[in-house]
Chain A
Amino acid sequence: MNWLLDLTPDEWNAVRLSIKVATVAMLASLPPGILIALLLARGQFWGKTLLNGLVHLPLILPPVVTGYLLLLTFGRRGPAGAFLAEHFGIVFSFRWTGAALACGVMGFPLMVRAIRLSIEAVDRKMEAAAGTLGANSLWVFATITLPLILPGLIAGAILAFAKAMGEFGATITFVSNIPNETQTLPSAIYTFTQVPGGDEGALRLTLISIVISMAALVASEVLARRVGRRLDIE
C-alpha cells in the first residue's frame, strides 16, 4: 500500500491534474451536451444529419487528428484561439484548460448519445400535461423533462468523465505533455514507459487510474439506481 501511495510530487500533480481536467471537461460539456441532445432528439431542422455527424466526429476520427484540428482552431494563432485570447483572456494552448477542452470534445459524443436517448424516452404527454397546468416550456423543461432524464444525464456525465480520465491522443497533440500543466495520468504513464526504469511509476499510475475510473463508475451506478427508484416508472 505504501508503495502504491508513495508518489513523487510530479506523479501527485498528474493525478490531481487528471481529476481536475476530467471534472472541468465533464461539467463544461453538460450544458452544451443537453442543448445538442435536445436539438437532435426533438429538433426538426435542415442540417440535423450534419450536426449529428459533427458531434460524432471525435468518436470516429483518430484522436491525433482531433487534437491537431483543435490546435489549428484554438491554438494561439488559430481563429478561435486568437479571438478568445484577445477578448476574454482565455488561452487554451499548452495550458490545462486546453487539456480540458480536448477531453471535453472527445467525451462529447458519448455524453450527447446518452442524454439524447433519455430525452427520446421521455413521455411527451407528461410535458403536455404540465403545460395545461400552467407551466411554460422553460418550466416544463426544468420541472418535468430534466428530472425525468436525470438517469441519462448522470450516465452521460460519468461516461464523459471516464473518457476524459483516459484521453491521451488529442490532449498530447493539442497541449503537449508538460509536467504540472498538461501532463495528465495517461501522459505521465506514457512518459514513464519512455524512460529506463520507469516501469514501477507506470504501474503505480496505472493502478491509480483504474481505481479512479472504477470509483466513478460505481458512483454513477449508485446514483442512477437511487434516482431510478425515485422515478419508479411503470
Chain B
Amino acid sequence: MSVLVDINHRLGGFAIDARFESAGRLTALFGASGSGKTTLIDMIAGLIRPDKGRIEVDGRVLVDTGAGIFVPKHKRRIGMVFQDARLFPHLSVAGNLRYGRWFTPPAERYADIDAVVDLLGIGPLMNRRPAKLSGGEKQRVAIGRALLASPRLLLMDEPLASLDEARKAEILPYVERLRDETKIPIVYVSHSVAEVARLASDVVMLAQGNVIASGPTGAVMQRLDLLPAEERGEGGAVLDTKVLHHDETFGMTVLGSAAGELRVPRLAMKTGTPVRIRIRARDVMIATEKPRGLSALNILPGTITTMSPGEGPAVEVGIDCNGATVLARITEQSRQALKLHLGGKVFAVIKTVSFDRANTGAGLPAEADG
C-alpha cells in the first residue's frame, strides 16, 4: 500500500508545490495552519483538482494532469473523515452508516457493519439523529460511515481539532484501534505534535505549501527546528517501547526501550504491549555525572550527538542513548556551565510524572513483514 502525491497548485496568492510518497500505516500530514495540508488531502479525495501533478494510491492513478486523468471523487473509493464530521442531518446514525455502504459495489464491500459499530462503540447511538450527538460521538459515527464505504484509503482531516481535551482523549484510542486492527492505510492531517507523535507511523511535514521533511515518525519528529512555533514546546523524542512490568507498590509501569528502562505512571496495558511515548524536550534535564539524591526516576546514559540553538536562550541537545535519541531543551547558560560538547558523555534525566496521558499511547505493533 502506498500513496504518492506530486502536485503543483496555486490558490490565490498561495502556491503549493509538494511531493511525497508514503507506505506507512498511518501517515500524518503535519504542519501549521495554512501550510497546505488540508488542500493536499482534498486533492487526494478529489474535492480539489490540482493545476498540475500526479496522485497515485496503491499504484492506481487518480490524477495525472499530463495525461488528462482525473478520477471523480465518487469513483475513488477513498474515505474521508472531516473536521466537522458532516453527518447528514436528515438521516439517523444508522442511515448515515448505511449511506456509504449503499454506493459500494457489493463485490468490494469488505467492511462489516457489526464489526465497525463494535470497533467504534456506536451501537447505542444507532437510532439517534446527528443533532442529538456529542462532538466525540459525531466524530466516531463519521469514522464509521467512512469505513463502511470499504475505502482503499482513509483520509482524516484534523478529526480532533474541534473537540475539547476530554473528547480528544475519548477518540484517540479508537484511531489507534483503527490503525492497528484494520488493514486500511490512513492519511491523517494534524497540526498537533501530541497527536502525530502518538498516532503516526510516518510523517510528512509541511510548511508554506512545501514538504520540508518526511519519513518515519521518530526521525522526523526529532527535527524540533522544523516544528511550527506554537507547537515547538510540545516537541520531543518519540520512542517505541514495550511494557516490561508493572510496579503496583508505587502505581507505575516500567517500559523497556532501546535507551533503557523508563518508569511512567501506571498504564492499563498488559505486559509486552507496545507503547508509543513522547518525551518532551523541555521535560528532560542533562547531568554530566550520574546524579544522586535526585527525585527523578529515569536516568539514561548517552552521548551528545547534536546541539542546535532553540528559541530565545534555549539550546536543543540530542543525546544518543544506546541507539535511541532523546532530546533535551536547556539554556545556553547551562550548556556553558556544564561544558557540554558533541561526543560528551551525559545523563538524560526525566521525571516520571512528566509522562501524562497525552504523550503515552498504544504503540504500533511490529509490521507483519518485519
Contacts and interface: CB of A to CB of B under 8 A. Distances in A.
Interface string A123-143: 101101111111110010001
B145 A133 contact: yes
Interface stretch (B25-33, B60-68, B75-83, B197-205): B75-83
B90 interface: yes
Interface in A189-234: 230-234
B89 interface: yes
Contacts of B86: 123, 125-126, 128-129
A130 B99 contact: yes
Contact of A134 (B47, B77, B129, B132): B77
A123 B103 CA distance: 21
Contacts of A123: 86
B88 interface: yes
A139 B73 contact: no
A131 B74 contact: yes
Contacts, number: 70
A125 B145 CA distance: 15
Among A126, A134, A230, A233, residue most surrounded by chain B Cβ atoms (within 10 Å): A134
Given A128-B47, A148-B90, A232-B129, A133 B84 contact: no
A147 interface: yes
Interface size class of B (residues with CB under 8 A): 20 to 34
A144 interface: yes
Contact of B74 (A136, A143, A232, A234): A136
Contacts of A233: 89, 131
A97 B145 CA distance: 48
Nearest to A123: B86
Contact of B88 (A131, A132, A144): A144
A132 B99 contact: no
Contact of A133 (B89, B90, B100, B132): B100
Contacts of B361: none
A171 B46 CA distance: 51
Given A136-B74, A232-B131, A233-B131, A130 B88 contact: yes
B89 A135 contact: no
A125 B82 contact: yes
Given A143-B99, A232-B131, A135 B74 contact: yes
Contacts of B84: 125
Contacts of A130: 88, 99
B45 A232 contact: no
Contacts of A132: 45-47, 73-74, 76, 78-80, 146, 149
A127 to B, nearest CB: 10
A121 to B, nearest CB: 12
Interface in B144-162: 145-146, 149
B97 to A, nearest CB: 11
Given A133-B149, A134-B74, A232 B100 contact: no
B104 interface: yes
B270 to A, nearest CB: 37
A186 B310 CA distance: 84
Contacts of A230: 90
Interface in A91-140: 123, 125-126, 128-136, 139
A129 B86 CA distance: 7
A234 B134 CA distance: 12
Contacts of A131: 46-47, 72-74
A94 B6 CA distance: 67
Nearest to B149: A133
Nearest to B103: A134
Interface in A135-171: 135-136, 139, 143-144, 147-148
A134 B149 contact: yes
A133 B149 CA distance: 6
A205 to B, nearest CB: 41
Of the listed residues A125, A132, A143, A233, the one surrounded by the most CB atoms of chain B closer than 10 A to its CB is A132
Interface string A171-183: 0000000000000
Q: Which has the most chain A C-beta neighbours within 10 Å: B74, B104, B129, B146?
A: B74
A140 B261 CA distance: 55
A147 B80 contact: no
Contact of B80 (A129, A231, A232): A129
Given A125-B82, A233-B89, A133 B129 contact: no
Contact of A126 (B77, B79, B88, B146): B88
Contacts of B104: 134
B103 A133 contact: yes
A234 B132 CA distance: 9
A139 B102 CA distance: 11
Contacts of A135: 74, 99, 103
A231 B95 CA distance: 13
A232 B93 CA distance: 13
Q: What 9 A-B pairs are tightest by C-beta distance, nearest first?
A: A134-B103, A133-B100, A232-B131, A129-B86, A132-B80, A131-B73, A147-B90, A136-B74, A133-B149
Interface of B: 45-47, 72-80, 82, 84, 86, 88-90, 99-100, 102-104, 129, 131-132, 145-146, 149
Given A130-B88, A133-B74, 6 more contacts: A128-B86, A132-B146, A134-B102, A134-B103, A139-B103, A143-B99
5 contacts: A132-B46, A132-B80, A134-B74, A231-B89, A232-B129
